[in-house]
Structure 1
Amino acid sequence: MAHPTALDPGFGIYVHWPFCRAKCPYCDFNSHVRETIDQARWRAALLTELRHYASETPGRTVTSIFFGGGTPSLMAPETTAALVEAVTDLWPVSPDIEVTLEANPTSVEAERFAAYAAAGVNRVSLGVQALNDDDLRFLGREHDTAEALAAVALARAQFARVSFDLIYARPGQRQDDWAEELRRALGEGCNHLSLYQLTIEQNTVFHARARRGELPLADPETAADLFEATQESLATEGLPAYEISNHARPGEASRHNLTYWHGGDYLGIGPGAHGRVTLGADKFATRQHRAPEIWLATVEQAGHATRTRQALSREDRLTELLMMGLRLQEGIRRAAFQRELGAEPETLLDARKVEALSKEGYLVLDDAGLRATAAGLMRLDTLLGYLAA
């Protein structure tokens, strides 16, 4: 299976490593700083929870594994190897299985790249975030630009596929500066880039600073201009957006994330991890205990640390399909509506809302399926709120 599709979205496994060296001021992910980590104990617990879910999903063909966090490049390579080996023992796997590891581009973590490649990782996603030392300090990153670019070069030597992230709409960022940063990023020769607009999330350092008026954020018009310039620039260079924040050359899209966006099944392993798994006629949303120490103790006692397990209603499944699928440039294919809900979009959606959004130039419903236009993607949160209400 080369690429997840609306008809066959694949079956992924997400493994959450919750630890970081430091908490970035913009980050609201489930990440924690600990002075010491018992790697052997964590490895055993992750394997235990993996085996628990394998017992519920026998025979499924795994198409991707994604090590996210936190900072998975702080995970012992032996743990990565053990988990990849366990997946291949517990399930059939696709011959071209994608195994992604998120990593920070510090020299310390880059030194482990060869060990992760030997462990079975074949794709790495680097949290570069900026190619400007002042902005890297503002974002709380532990690397500088030179260190990041050295890590990208080392990653390209070790892994078949390399992606890295950048954050734009940073305070004071001008369009010319961002265009130059994109040119520099494209010069690194990677076939996938994830480009995210800086957003202020609750319960972060940046959120507190913004409430005190200490964070001069980009105004909406500037942010929109940067978004449009990003789409145009990368499309011209052969990395068009296949999802609202992700750009790739043909064949280089993240297969694991495509499983999410096509509404496929995936298991969530580790603290706070979410999953979606179809068992019989029902699709369940799962969530593991969020606090690392509680998760660890619960797994050791019960064999897993699933905190919630809820069967999704038909309305839930439609809402999730809209929220995930409309992020894609191709939108939601009719095959996906049929697979998830056994019906065509015309019978599932409010015709008046679809017509109104179509007349405004934000949405298209045709023989292929339902998709947001370029103007709709720029207003996706508002569009989804209206459509799903």
Structure 2
Amino acid sequence: MTETPAPFGPEYGFGAYIHWPYCTKICPYCDFNVYAAKDRDPSLLLQAICDDLKIHRPRMPQHGALDTIFLGGGTPSLLKPLQVAEILQAADEAFGIKDGAEITLEANPNDVLRADLRGLKAAGVNRLSVGVQSLRPAALAFLGRDHDEQAAMAAIVRAMKVFPNTSIDLIYARPGQSVQEWQLELEDVLKFGVPHISLYELTIEERTAFGKAVERGQIVPMEDDDQADLYELTQTILGAAGLPAYEVSNHAMAPEYQSRHNQIYWHGGDWIGAGPGAHGRVSVNGQRYASEAEKRPDAYIANVQALASGWSAAQKLYPLDIARELLAMGLRPSGGIDRRRIESLSGRPLPQNKIDVFVDEGWLKEDGPRIALTAAGRLLADAITAELAA
């Protein structure tokens, strides 16, 4: 009998998520903590993020060097290479950055076209995640993007010349989108040879402009069955093209192109959250904590300047809550999760009778202590998780 693996902690990866909250334009579907960039001076926020990273160090004395850093937002591609380098230097001074660490920067297509990409690479960035969202003009207009399809295509080409490890985001299951239209769009995307694609079904949140439009009857979301048809088509087309799904929404050409930072989330590793509204999960002396930074940039800056770090709260998580989170996240990647990690926290076995039903239905795979969703099961990921966690 093999030893029960640790339930959580930095042995499953240690990263830093840096949230840059400013955008030149706020998209109508966006529910993230974002603010209009306007003519803001970024220097105070930049300094606060750097200080925040350093303040984390004494709270996490047993953590080693960072495996990954992800600069997300918002629009971190608004930052100049020297500003990115400043953040990375602060992270390195606080914890160290491992040789070969994955350092990702999210970028809008228009920024990719005008940015100093080689300067960003020299600063330490080695992976670009480009928010293409669509290659169709009507869809881009509907999604409120500030780029057109020509800019999107040019950005992909330019990004890959400097960053072979480039990922692009696409949003599908848009109102009125047909199976045929989505197939053609996917085929157009695949012509670029991008090694990683993240594909997200359009989710309409209440607080967004789209959410209000739905309330007014101006937008009718796509039916669940139609979304499922598009999801299944996506798996078929990308699988045949050599980009199989390694997680519910993510496809990669080979393991070396899989997002190492996101795998920290999925596998129960630790990550620091720095920047306004950033979330983190850190383990100290066998306890797991959830942190959330102050959302408003001015409040975040003030909190850091008071040497409290940007956290507005650092909540100790109860074992059952950790177990449920591990289950929900751990079932997302194709390799699944060792059920013993969950059971050691919850103090009870997962319901074998339900697992057996899901296996018989072809939704779940069981290999010793490891359970994983099948391709069909990914369509029901939330429902399966809820049943197993009950």
Please indicate the TM-score interval, normalised by the length of the shorter structure.
over 0.9
What residue number does 2:297 align with? 292
**Unaligned stretches of 5+ residues in structure 2:** 1-7
Q: Distance in 2 between matches of 1:355 and 1:368?
A: 13
Q: Structure 2 vs 1, CA of residues 145 and 50 (structure 1 numbering), >3 Å: closer, same or farther?
A: same
Aligned pair partner of 2:54 in 42, 51, 58: 51
Is the Cα contact below 8 Å between 1:271 and 1:289 reproduced in 2?
Answer: yes
Q: Distance in 2 between matches of 1:258 and 1:186?
A: 24
Q: How does 1:226-241 map to 2 (within 5 A)?
A: 226-241=230-245
Aligned pair partner of 1:18 in 16, 21, 32: 21
Aligned pair partner of 1:39 in 38, 42, 59: 42
Structure 1 SS opposite 2:30: coil
Structure 1 SS opposite 2:23: coil
Structure 2 SS opposite 1:48: helix
Q: Distance in 2 between matches of 1:381 and 1:175?
A: 24
**Unaligned stretches of 5+ residues in structure 1:** none
Matched, 1:354 2:355: yes
Is the Cα contact below 8 Å between 1:326 and 1:371 reproduced in 2?
Answer: yes
Amino acid at match of 1:360: E
Is the Cα contact below 8 Å between 2:113 and 2:154 reproduced in 1?
Answer: no
Is the Cα contact below 8 Å between 1:73 and 1:109 reproduced in 2?
Answer: no
Moved more, 169-178 or 124-133: 169-178
CA-to-partner distance for each residue in 1:76-126, whole Å, 9 max, x for gaps?
322210111222222233211000000000157642322211211000000
Q: Structure 2 vs 1, CA of residues 226 and 69 (structure 1 numbering), >3 Å: closer, same or farther?
A: same
Matched, 1:275 2:280: yes
Amino acid at match of 1:300: Q
Matched, 1:147 2:148: no
Structure 1 SS opposite 2:109: coil
TM-superposed deviation, 1:299: 1.2
Q: Distance in 1 between matches of 2:272 and 2:382?
A: 26
TM-score (norm 1): 0.93
What residue number does 1:130 align with? 134
TM-superposed deviation, 1:244: 0.4
Is the Cα contact below 8 Å between 2:45 and 2:297 reproduced in 1?
Answer: no
Q: Percent identity?
A: 41
What residue number does 2:263 align with? 258
Structure 2 SS opposite 1:299: helix
CA-to-partner distance for each residue in 1:57-91, whole Å, 9 max, x for gaps?
24412100000100111123222101112222222
Aligned pair partner of 1:206 in 197, 203, 210: 210
TM-superposed deviation, 1:272: 0.7
Is the Cα contact below 8 Å between 1:48 and 1:303 reproduced in 2?
Answer: no
What residue number does 1:225 align with? 229
Amino acid at match of 1:44: Q
Is the Cα contact below 8 Å between 2:359 and 2:365 reproduced in 1?
Answer: yes
What residue number does 1:376 align with? 377
Q: Distance in 1 between matches of 2:205 and 2:218?
A: 15
Structure 1 SS opposite 2:35: coil
TM-superposed deviation, 1:291: 1.4
Matched, 1:307 2:312: yes
Aligned pair partner of 1:87 in 73, 85, 91: 91
What residue number does 2:31 align with? 28
Q: Distance in 1 between matches of 2:141 and 2:158?
A: 23
Is the Cα contact below 8 Å between 1:107 and 1:147 reproduced in 2?
Answer: no
Q: Distance in 2 between matches of 1:107 and 1:93?
A: 26
Amino acid at match of 2:270: D
Aligned residues: 381
Q: Distance in 2 between matches of 1:365 and 1:377?
A: 15
TM-score (norm 2): 0.92
CA-to-partner distance for each residue in 1:345-376, whole Å, 9 max, x for gaps?
99531333333333433223331501122222
Is the Cα contact below 8 Å between 1:285 and 1:310 reproduced in 2?
Answer: yes
TM-superposed deviation, 1:161: 0.9
